[in-house]
């Protein structure tokens, strides 16, 4: 069974395998557990109560996530009730270690901590590692990559472009 180190969440162990089937609609290699959007999942009487926090406000993916969670639990024979929690807001710190690895394998550089993130995006510091060759000789091309939460980088060694998942607090 998957090891979970999520400090901000309260999740029944028996529900983890079901939650783990639901992937993030924008980054399909990540599950919603990897992204850290599940805050609470408990079986109470015959009902599974779930609380999720959107990754960023107005994200249309959250509707999809809600539907996907409902489908996964109904398939496993559970009734489910899903609530959205908006505070505290989701931060990129909630992405699990496993999730960060999956991001990198997928070609998206995982978020740095807030101070380093600022150095990279505003001061042009070269500390984002290329997801293709590992070089730090990388250059910010655009503050916005394939989505608003990512920035577009290019590696000056292997010339590959890649996304960097910006730090969100
Ligand atoms: Zn490279």
| 79-84 β-sheet, strand order | 10-11, 38-44, 47-52, 79-84
Q: Distance (Å, rounded) from C-alpha 48 to C-alpha 78?
A: 7
Kindly report, residue by residue over 100-115, the tens digit of the pLDDT.
999 999 999 999 999 9
pLDDT level of residue 168 (50, 70, 90 thresholds): confident
pTM: 0.87
- Distance between Cα 93 and ligand 1 center (Å): 25
Cα(95) to centroid(ligand 1), Å: 24
pLDDT, position 51: 96
| pLDDT, average across residues 27-34 | 91
Q: 158 CA distance to ligand 1 centroid (A)?
A: 4
């Amino acid at each position: 069974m998957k090891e979970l180190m999520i400090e901000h969440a309260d999740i029944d162990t028996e529900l983890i395998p079901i939650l783990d089937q639901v992937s993030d609609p924008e980054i399909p290699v990540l599950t919603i557990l990897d992204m850290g959007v599940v805050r609470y999942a408990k079986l109470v009487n015959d009902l599974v109560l779930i609380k999720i926090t959107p990754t960023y406000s107005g994200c249309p993916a959250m509707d999809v996530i809600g539907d996907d969670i409902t489908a996964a639990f109904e398939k496993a024979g559970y009734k489910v009730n899903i609530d959205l929690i908006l505070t505290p807001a989701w931060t990129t710190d909630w992405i699990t270690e496993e999730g960060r690895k999956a991001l990198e394998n997928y070609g998206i550089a995982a978020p740095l901590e807030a101070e380093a993130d600022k150095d990279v995006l505003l001061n042009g510091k070269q500390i984002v590692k290329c997801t293709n060759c590992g070089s730090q000789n990388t250059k910010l091309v655009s503050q916005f990559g394939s989505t608003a939460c990512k920035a577009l980088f290019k590696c000056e060694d292997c010339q590959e472009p890649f996304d960097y998942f910006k730090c969100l607090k």
